[in-house]
Amino acid sequence: MPFDFLSGLLQFVLRHKIVVGFYLLIAVLLFVYRKRFQFQLKFIALYRTTWGLGLMERIATRYRELVKLLGYVGIGVGFLSMFIILFTLIQSVFTLITVPNSPSPLSPVLPGVRIPGVPEGFFVPFVQGIIAIFIIAVVHEFSHGVVALAHGVKVKSSGPAIIGPIFAAFVEPDEQQLKKKPDVVNYSLFAAGTFSNVVLAFVALFLLSAVFSPVSSAFFPEQGVVLKGVEAGLPAGAAGLRQGMAVTAINGQPIASTNDALNALQLVRPNQTAVFSTGSGDFHVVAASNSKYPGRGYFGITIEPLLKNRDTPYFGVFSWLQGILALLATLSFGIGLANMIPIGPIDGGKMLHLALTRIRGEQKANKTFGRLSLLLLLVILFLLSPIFRAILKSVAGIF
């Protein structure tokens, strides 16, 4: 068992040597410059500065009433997001209990690392992922700061942060001043980060559809599809299909675009055989079933368009920027929703705790909120259990 564990760990390090080397460098820099950082809970490092405070002040002063209005709108978005994420968690618990071998409904994000148990399609490239998450964090915290200043709450500091392996940012409003403000101000400040993340996600989606999609159609038209990901142990991988293969036909139907591939795959039912034609020959794949797509065959693949002119340097720059926007759209929305989970010290927890305090009084609110936080923590751990099992199986070979 120890040998299996060490062997699995070594393979992991070799597969992710760039990521591991990068974080080792960060760890060394944190140790060397540790006196300049403030550490909290052993895994949160804050570098306190006044970066961005001047810009926050100018925006809050020049557009004070607009910022306040958007902050009030954000309260509704925040509570709606809290309801959505709670409903999703409850529904996911039911699915995980009633459907054997269901994948985890939660997908942790660690740029550059393929986490066992997480579908291939959720892989986040290292450099693009670090940049996207940092942008999301800056927008999130910057919004907190602008709303605070618009309501006359001093912002004492801001700066970059490292939370475990994730690069982030922070803004520190004056807590004493904030407590003296009306509840609506507190709610708008707590919800500002999630609201801004939702807006950022829609802005990214707009740019992808209104700018990048027309440019792609004009200069890089589709001429087929290629397998972006093939999950090990699932039908496509077991049949011999591999990542990077170009698919020219499915069941004899020529594939010239992503829509052609999706339309052909939707016709396949569980336990039926689909023939994938590639440059390496034909592959007969028996479709499995999946609770997320009842009645449709499941192959364990993700596809992406095979584009004309993709070998030009212009395509490399274009696709890299497009990838950043796609990550901003998905991660910003997901992180914004996750931030509204009413647990602990995150924004959703602060909003619910304030509401409970006004309804039940501080002492009863603290007790109720503590129990709810513990319950939600156990729910999250339960929903992540398929990933925990996959990690143990991958690294240590225990299961």
pLDDT at 5 over 80: no
What region does 141 belong to: left with phi over 0, alpha with psi -120 to 50, or beta? alpha
Rounded Cα gap, residues 236 and 391, in angstroms: 22
Tell me, letter by letter, the H, E, C secondary structure of 141-197.
HHHHHHHHHHCCCCEEEEEEEEECCEEEEEEEECHHHHHCCCHHHHHHHHHHHHHHH
pLDDT of residue 398: 46
Instruction: Report the greatest alpha carbon distance in the chain.
Output: 71
Mean pLDDT (whole number) for 236-241: 93
> Cβ(186)–Cβ(175) under 8 Å?
no
pLDDT of residue 395: 64
Task: Give the full edge-to-edge strand order of the sheet including 38-40.
Answer: 38-40, 44-46, 155-163, 166-173
Tokens of 307: 């584009």
Mean pLDDT (whole number) for 24-50: 86
Rounded Cα gap, residues 54 and 72, in angstroms: 23
pLDDT of residue 2: 59
| DSSP-derived secondary structure letter, 341 | S
Rounded Cα gap, residues 107 and 200, in angstroms: 20
Rounded Cα gap, residues 61 and 146, in angstroms: 9
Mean pLDDT (whole number) for 191-208: 97
Mean pLDDT (whole number) for 344-352: 92
pLDDT of residue 7: 67
Tokens of 329: 């759209």
Write down all domains in the chain, each with its CATH number in brackets: 33-215+324-395 (no CATH), 222-307 (2.30.42.10)
pLDDT at 29 over 80: yes
State the pLDDT confidence band at 163, using cuts at 50, 70 and 90.
confident
- For the segment 68-102, what is each residue's pLDDT rounded down to a tens digit? 999 999 999 999 999 999 999 999 999 899 887 77
pLDDT at 1 over 60: no
The backbone torsions φ and ψ at residue 52, rounded to the nearest 5 degrees and listed phi first, read 80, -10
Tokens of 19: 């990521």
Rounded Cα gap, residues 85 and 330, in angstroms: 15
Q: How far is CA 221 from CA 88, 258, 367, in A?
A: 37, 11, 59
The model carries a pTM of 0.82
pLDDT at 112 over 50: yes
| DSSP-derived secondary structure letter, 102 | P
Rounded Cα gap, residues 236 and 168, in angstroms: 38
State the pLDDT confidence band at 388, using cuts at 50, 70 and 90.
confident
